[in-house]
Amino acid sequence: MAGSEKTVVWFRRDLRIDDNPALAAATKDGSVLPLFIWCPADYGEYYPGRCSRWWLKQSLAHLGKSMESLGCPLVLIRAEDSTLAALLECVRSVGATRVVYNRLYDPISLMHDDKIKNELSALGISVQSFNGDLLYEPWEVYDENGLAFTTFDMYWEKCMNLTIEISQYLAPVKLVPVPGAGNLRGCSIDDLGLESSKDEESSNALLSRAWSPGWRNAENMFEEFVSYGLLEYSRQGMKVGGTTTSLLSPYLHFGELSIRKVYRHVKLQQINWENEGKSEAEESVRLFLRSIGFREYSRYLCFNFPFTHERSLLGNLKHYPWRLDEDRFKSWRQGMTGYPLVDAGMRELWATGWIHNRIRVIVSSFAVKFLQIPWIWGMKYFWDVLLDADLESDILGWQYISGSLPDGHELSRLDSPEVLGQKYDPDGEYVRTWIPELARMPTEWIHCPWDARSSILEVAGVELGFNYPKPIVELHMARECLDDAISTMWQLDTAAKLAELDGEVVEDNMNNIRVFDIPKVVLKMELSPSTSSLDQKVLFTNGKNKDLHPKEVKAPYKQVIQDGDTGSTANSHVTRKRSSSDSAFNVPSCSSSLIMHSQIHDPDSCSVLYSSYLQEKEDRSGVGKVEDNDSEDSGASATFFP
């Protein structure tokens, strides 16, 4: 019956009014209950860090004011048990007939959403989900064989040849609140417990000076970037100090800014510049849209390969001999490695929750290559401290940089922090800003104080090993250890494959010994006659949903690596081919490849058969030269999209 619907709009990482598909659908018919539920228990070891929670609090306050102006206050609920229990209570309290929300694509959210959808559907509640986060759904993009892509360039090329829907959902001008909404036991934004009084008085006060969360502020930031920053995007990206990136990543993570709107406006601006003859704009637009593409690919990768938050995509790297060195990990976190550019980046990260995307690449590469710290430790630390912490993007970035993806950097690549410092911080101003101990060091020695004469160090007030550390590991030793680790990995991998052959070693088998094991996911299958493309798609896991929850990760994040099933180590770029000295590169047809299938039933979510992944979880109780290439580094830095 027209106008009879009582719809709960479940807000999550879509904290905006404009171009919000779920909100737009709810306003078409009947009354609306805007709802946000904060349930710390649902996050497990991926509980958001201090800076991320500060942003969420400010964004919710901003959204609440907007909803109030539309005549429909945002209801906030802190759930102690589960989001599902709180949502069910709200539905029953107001007699809601429908729940709508925008989809999330990380494996943790997928499992929660599947459970919630099943419970609500069993009670006769209509449940609809929408795409409010991506240009392309993860199940829509596949190769000529119907398989999911495992390299970015091929994925993005296919995307660019697909039709894209960039029409915008208009913001509502008035909402009708659900009768009885005032009787709900909601809470104030302070009662959500997103920040402590100590946080408010100290560190978080500094964040408000630099950032303005909220969907209207996001639109203002984006318009300013398009008008004044986009044209110089390709050139400014070489600078690690100051505002040289779009700074849009936290707004995009919390859904304060529509990705469709970003894409549409950038393309329109590109057309305007072409008409004005500004040819220099082409490269900036290409690089920025490529960054958008990496964000899309991060969701694509996590959705189709739901194990990538806990282990490498390349199966061979489960044999990589990581160093579980807590002291080195602590030195890296504190910015006390003795390499100025790395230390400056880590100190800025701790102080502000933010670092330039190129610095993210440099510090993460140092962690996994020089220190051989497991990439999962680094990824989890980024999740804990980044203002724009985004699980999917961080997974993609760390897997690229660690060499855990087919198109990542070679395992043997090792970049010198000294060379990178001279390139990206030639005057040393960035280092001096964040390492006051080196403020008086001459520019010539700012990135290599260990090479300076004692008289120079004395004048600069630097005493290596006392007020600034000596290098935690020498470059030549890092290269030697990296080479040994790679050799060990291949020996263990080869031994494991030979064991699988039961001693029957023939030439054809040997050809598949040293290849990267790349899992396959079938996205396109022939649908049965009884299956309509308009039916509801539900995550299908053969009743083993619990196995998809990640292993518990505690500082210093040891538990994730207990079975040696983590990823690799390297510095990353998207289009770089691996050196033949490392291994042959191809998609093997041998049984070591993980094969999964996706069955599409409707546009509401995607039905993915994770049985191979679940079974696998049950069964598990060359010194390279210093490389320096702008085109390759641009690919790596784009995986961390600020």
Residues of each annotated binding site for FAD: 233, 245-249, 288, 388-390
Alpha helix (H) residue ranges in 70-132: 83-94, 107-122
Record the tokens describing residue 189, joined without a space. 């934004």
Ramachandran angles phi, psi of 596, nearest 5°: -130, 165
DSSP string computed for 535-591: SPP----TT-GGGGSPPP--TTT-GGGTTS---------SSPPPPTTT-B-----ST
Q: Binding site: what residues are annotated?
A: 233, 245-249, 288, 388-390
Ramachandran angles phi, psi of 77, nearest 5°: -135, 130
Closest to 285 (Cα-Cα) out of 301, 295, 274: 274
In order of 48, 316, 610, the CA distances from 617 in angstroms are 25, 16, 11
Closest to 571 (Cα-Cα) out of 352, 391, 419: 419
Determine how many CB atoms are found less than 10 A away from the CB of residue 416: 21
To the nearest 10°, report the CA torsion of 296, 300, 306, 307: -70
Record the tokens describing residue 580, joined without a space. 């033949």
Buried b (16+ CB within 10 A) or exposed e, 374-411: bbbbbbbbbbbbbbbbbbbbbbbbbbbbbbbbbbbbbb
Determine how many CB atoms are found less than 10 A away from the CB of residue 202: 10
Task: State the Rg of the chain over Cα.
Answer: 25
**Separation of CA 3 from chain center:** 40
* Total residue length of the chain: 642
Count CA atoms closer than 13 A to 168's CA, side-chain side: 15
Tell me which residue has tokens 């986009």: 230
Q: 135 and 259 in contact (C-beta within 8 Å)?
A: yes
Ramachandran angles phi, psi of 36, nearest 5°: -130, 130
Record the tokens describing residue 464, joined without a space. 């290596």
SS (H, E, C) 136-171: CCCCCCCCCCCECCCCHHHHHHHHHCCCCCCCCCCC
For residue 399, give the 3-state DSSP assignment.
Answer: helix
Report d(CA 110, CA 116) in Å as an integer: 10
Specify the long-range contacts of residues 203-212, CB closer than 8 Å, at least 24 apart: 203/50, 204/50, 204/51, 204/54, 206/352, 207/51, 207/54, 207/55, 207/352, 207/353, 207/387, 208/58, 210/352, 210/354, 211/55, 211/250, 211/387
Record the tokens describing residue 254, joined without a space. 């919390």
